[in-house]
Chain A
């Protein structure tokens, strides 16, 4: 596997910060501890030429202890390798270091993640809502907000194969 060397180097450098590795996924996936996310991304960018931040988005697993996740997709354009990093934080302490100082493009992506999931990116220059109205007082992509009004009586889910 072409990622073995990279994984070994990451493990040497960040030891216990790498929580799990998934090589069976379509993209090499690492789950890392949230306080190490910035050093790891910085290392990948400076030393391993993952110079392109493809995507950054949030996810919510209500049944987990650390409910909120942030998923980073990085791309090494020269070797054409992608890597996916995941990190999880609890809803009570949703702090993650911002990577805007590494990638300017992360600015709006982090704002979007904050807007929809309420992840607090520490060190972000302007962490305010981006797509929703500013007076909204919740983070709508979290799973506790169902899409349709649960109190509606005129719709019976059984008739829709649900």
Chain B
């Protein structure tokens, strides 16, 4: 019974094993929302220990990145946290800009804020509605997924893709917001508050939902910091650490927004923090749209400004320079940087070591999901299986981010 997974190292005596049973949750369990395995040691209904196995979709991104020029790495970042890929894309572009020493214009910054906050809303919508599904309330999920669809339509308008967006370029964007895109964002911003209100009415003060989530899977602020939690999970525990405020990037300091914090770090607090963050994101998008400065949608970085697509298809020189940029004939300064953005799940960091060549010498992704998921056994020990499922969905563990 013990050797289901050779990795688990629960110290159990023969006597213990008579009473306990092993339960495999995953790798392809519908409640894990991704491919990773939890081996739970159960005493009846109670969890006495757990061990995780991850790496089922490991794609060696860090190794691949050592061979790829900078533009080709954007597509790898898409596939980290695929619920909010535009944040990863822009986070990567910001890292490259830091490496090159490029200052972006206000218009670019504000456009980026709009896109990143849209992605954050999409990410939080998935997470929060899935908490509802896992506690038995499917309605809210179906309801808000309609709005997520609208966000994906905006992505389509901005870059042509929906899930793995490859959005933006080093220095800005590949094209300006089209009138249709702006109109779609405005329409969404009008609709979304109503939908969010209704979604919150379904769950926030719902007796059953509260009973299922309050004091479930809690973690103290001290433990959360010790585990290097970040993002909504850390803020739910009561620590107001947000990269957008602590180290403002992309002109976030021009805007006034609230960083919500919880108290108990439990599932309900995580839910509420994400809800509030969505409201703040709506505020940010509206503000950025209203104050969007005139100007160019890109910053001049000659070595990285891709020529317009229609020229690439019809003229020789743009075609050549496009090819050279994408295949990476540009040497990047010899430097070492750490650049972080507030991703959907927390501090998404890029540690880049450049040796002056066309590819990074070393690239490390600080993936928030990978770091906080290791606290899962501590958070569920002593609770029941159904609570463990809720804890997992409220932590928003994304397999792509976990495995890189």
Contact = CB atoms under 8 A, between A and B. Distances in A.
B364 A53 contact: no
B338 to A, nearest CB: 6
B55 A130 contact: yes
A115 to B, nearest CB: 9
A105 B227 contact: yes
B245 to A, nearest CB: 10
B31 interface: no
A54 B228 contact: yes
A56 to B, nearest CB: 9
B324 interface: yes
A10 interface: no
> DSSP class of B's interface residues: helix, strand, loop or mixed?
mixed
B328 A161 contact: yes
Contacts, number: 101
Interface in A26-61: 26-27, 29, 51-55, 57, 59-60
Nearest to B53: A130
B351 A105 contact: no
Prevailing SS type, chain A contact patch: loop
A134 B7 contact: yes
Interface residues of B, number: 49
B351 A57 contact: yes
A25 B336 contact: yes
Contacts of B373: 108
Given A57-B351, A134-B6, 11 more contacts: A26-B337, A54-B340, A54-B347, A73-B366, A77-B239, A82-B338, A104-B374, A128-B7, A133-B55, A161-B328, A162-B358
Interface of B: 6-7, 9, 54-55, 58, 60, 62-64, 66-67, 98, 223, 225-229, 239, 241, 246-247, 324, 327-329, 335-338, 340, 347, 349, 351, 353, 358, 362, 364, 366, 370-375, 378, 403-404
Interface of A: 25-27, 29, 51-55, 57, 59-60, 71, 73, 77, 80, 82, 84, 103-109, 112, 116, 126, 128-134, 140-141, 147-148, 160-162
